[in-house]
């Protein structure tokens, strides 16, 4: 039997009787529901639920979106993403069809890891790619970013990117790729992976802050040493202009402090502001562009790649609502619930 969490009429945001596309809570909820729709599309596929038995369509049709196309992984034929098209249908009983300048014409959504079914092996392989910072080399990402490029090239305006967990990493990479080419897409990134020791879990604030300061100076020092050793053209570390080129892209990043998969983003941005406060902005700016492990690899002549978490700017939303366990803290459902304790802050480089 299907889980109640998959059924829109039971678990969806039915409280959204009208949509205000200028309301940040409404925008976040719609983006999260599109991701849920992709999750359930793959579950429908695995459970052979078709036609009226399929559970996925209400997750986008409720908001007057149509399924434009599915994104299929060529390695296992799983559905990992989808493109949804806003399709205004005048209806006196709903305001969803009212299109404004804030209404997305298309939403490109990516699911995260499924722990059950035939997609798990491929998803797990790509989770490891995230840890190694090589997700951009996968065929799944190539399919994803090409779909985004094609959508942009076709002249569509106001395209959104969204994803959860592994899918958030996919959306972030696609967003970075477009931003480096001067195209800044609104992006809603839920529980995006941040590969790092769990410093944010340290309860003693002085110890936590001290570790972050020491880490910044060591990482910045190593970056200077590596730069002195090799010419920029000969090394695989993104130069400072690559970091600066992303500054105008401000994705919406959603994290839960009890989710160790994404919680380090809290410290990543807060620490940058604290370093500026003690006059060490230059040190932190250099450190925030690199990872210590990547620099070590580069120093010994091994190939390294830009860390996924490198972001000059973001609108960071933290959900401080107590979670029962990691599964709840990492789940997508929290992001459309109306009883959550959310705090948002914008960080710009």
> For the residues of 211-277, what is the DSSP string, one character each?
HHHHHHHHHHHHHHHHHHHS-GGGS-S--HHHHHHTTT---EEEE-TT-TTTTHHHHHHHHHHHHHH
Sheet holding 79-86, edge to edge: 65-72, 79-86, 106-110, 159-164, 186-190, 252-255, 314-319, 342-347
Residue of higher predicted confidence among 84 and 290: 84
Instruction: Using CA atoms of 173, 175, 178, 183 in order, give the dihedral in degrees to the nearest 10.
Output: -170
Q: Would you state the pLDDT for residue 328?
A: 96
State the pLDDT confidence band at 304, using cuts at 50, 70 and 90.
low
For the four alpha carbons of 326, 23, 67 and 315, in that order, the dihedral sign comes to negative
Q: Would you state the pLDDT for residue 47?
A: 95
Q: Above 90 in pLDDT, residue 111?
A: yes
Which tens digits make up the pLDDT trace of 155-188? 988 999 999 999 999 999 999 999 999 999 999 9
Q: Could you tell me which residues come within 8 angstroms of residue 203 by beta carbon, excluding any fewer than 6 positions away?
A: none
Residue of higher predicted confidence among 221 and 271: 271
- Nearest Cα to Cα of residue 86 among 116, 101, 106: 106
Q: Above 70 in pLDDT, residue 291?
A: no
State the pLDDT confidence band at 91, using cuts at 50, 70 and 90.
low
pTM of the model: 0.85
Q: Could you tell me which residues come within 8 angstroms of residue 84 by beta carbon, excluding any fewer than 6 positions away?
A: 34, 37, 60, 65, 66, 67, 68, 106, 107, 108, 109
**SS3 state of residue 159:** strand
Highest mean pLDDT (candidates 78-82, 200-204, 298-302): 78-82
Q: Would you state the pLDDT for residue 305?
A: 72
* CA distances from residue 161 to 32, 148, 184, 190 in whole angstroms, order as listed: 11, 9, 10, 11
Tokens at 179, concatenated = 């931003």
State the pLDDT confidence band at 225, using cuts at 50, 70 and 90.
low
Query: Poorest-confidence range of 62-71, 156-165, 228-237, 325-334?
Result: 228-237
């Amino acid at each position: 039997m299907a889980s109640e969490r998959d059924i829109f009429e039971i678990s969806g945001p039915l409280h959204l009787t009208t949509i205000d596309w200028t309301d940040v809570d409404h925008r976040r909820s719609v983006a999260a529901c599109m991701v849920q729709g992709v999750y359930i599309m793959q579950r429908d596929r695995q459970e052979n639920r078709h036609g009226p038995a399929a559970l996925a369509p209400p997750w986008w049709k409720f908001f007057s979106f149509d399924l434009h196309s599915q994104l299929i992984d060529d390695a296992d034929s799983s559905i990992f993403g989808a493109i949804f098209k806003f399709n205004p249908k005048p209806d006196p009983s709903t305001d969803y069809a009212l299109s404004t300048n804030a209404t997305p014409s298309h939403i490109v959504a990516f699911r995260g890891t499924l722990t059950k079914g035939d997609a798990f092996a491929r998803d797990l392989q790509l989770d490891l790619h995230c840890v190694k910072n090589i997700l951009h080399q996968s065929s799944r990402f190539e399919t994803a970013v090409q779909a985004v490029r094609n959508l942009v090239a076709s002249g569509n305006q106001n395209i959104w990117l969204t994803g959860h967990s592994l899918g958030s990493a996919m959306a972030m990479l696609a967003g970075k790729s477009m931003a480096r080419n001067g195209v800044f897409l609104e992006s809603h990134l839920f529980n995006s992976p941040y590969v790092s020791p769990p410093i944010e879990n340290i309860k003693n604030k002085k110890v936590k802050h001290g570790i972050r300061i020491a880490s910044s100076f060591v990482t910045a020092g190593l970056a200077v040493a590596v730069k002195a050793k090799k010419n920029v053209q000969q090394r695989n570390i993104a130069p400072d202009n690559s970091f600066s080129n992303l500054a105008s892209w401000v994705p919406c990043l959603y994290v839960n402090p009890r989710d160790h998969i994404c919680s380090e983003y809290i410290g990543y941005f807060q620490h940058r502001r604290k370093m500026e406060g003690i006059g060490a902005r230059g040190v932190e700016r250099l450190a925030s562009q690199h990872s210590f492990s990547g620099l070590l690899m580069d120093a010994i002549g091994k190939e390294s790649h830009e860390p996924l978490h490198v972001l000059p700017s973001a609108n960071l939303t933290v959900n401080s609502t107590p979670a029962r366990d990691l599964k709840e803290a990492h789940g997508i459902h929290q992001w459309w619930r109306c009883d959550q304790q959310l705090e948002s802050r914008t960080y710009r480089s």
